[in-house]
Each structure stands twice: as structure tokens, then as C-alpha cells.
Amino acid sequence: MQAQVKYESEIKTAVLGDRTITVKNVTPIYPPQERDKRSREVERRLFDVFVKYAGQRG
């Protein structure tokens, strides 16, 4: 069974013309070892995406 992940939230509000835009950023709180594992996974997946386009620069 996987442990329940807690989240840290950050709310930003900006006014654009006559509109008020609110953005809520929610970030999971992981133990350091799990955070490092997730970070490496994200880096690997981003690399897999960007390497496809690296040779296409003009």
C-alpha cells in the first residue's frame, strides 16, 4: 500500500485588465530520497522528449 502524499499549495493572484486570475500551484511533499528519485525520472523523460528535437535546430 502506498503512503498518502501530502501537498503544499501556493496561490497567486493577478489582475489583467478587468479580470482577476488566480493560479493555485500544488506541489507534492516527498521525503528526500523519493524527491530525488522523482526528479531523476522527470529529467530522464524531459531528455527523451527534447532529444527528438535536438537535430532539428535551424
Q: What is the pTM (predicted TM-score) of this model?
A: 0.56
| Span 3-58, pLDDT tens digits | 788 999 999 999 999 999 999 999 999 999 999 999 999 999 999 999 888 876 65
User: What is the total residue count of the chain?
Assistant: 58
Start-to-end CA span in the chain (Å):
49
Q: How far is 56 from 58, CA to CA, in rounded Å?
A: 6
Coil, strand or helix at 32 = helix
pLDDT reported for residue 29 = 93
